[in-house]
Amino acid sequence: MYVCSCNALTDRQVRAAARGTARPTAKAAFRALGCRFDCGQCLRRAHQIARESHPEFHAAVMLAAE
């Protein structure tokens, strides 16, 4: 599914980029992909995808479940 139509980025691309970043943010994922936000319509969804895809998110969920 396309997340950002300005940069033609899919959710898979954002997920993969977010996994390789130090911080789980859309900005970090976009930077890793060599892109910048244009209109900003994708910001909220891209940030959610990046955060959920990052290893820190899964570690926090596991700790909370204990």
And the tokens for 45? 């969804």
Q: Which domains can be identified in the chain, with CATH numbers?
A: 2-65 (1.10.10)
| Predicted structure pTM score | 0.79
pLDDT digits over 6-27, tens only?
A: 999 999 999 999 988 888 899 9
Q: Would you say 18 and 54 are in contact if contact means Cβ atoms under 8 Å apart?
A: yes
Can you name the residues that pair with 10 across neighbouring β-strands?
2
**Residue 60, CA distances (Å) to 2, 12, 18, 52, 66 in order:** 27, 22, 16, 11, 10
What is the rounded CA–CA span in Å between residue 66 and residue 6? 41
pLDDT digits over 24-54, tens only?
A: 899 999 999 999 999 999 999 999 999 988 7
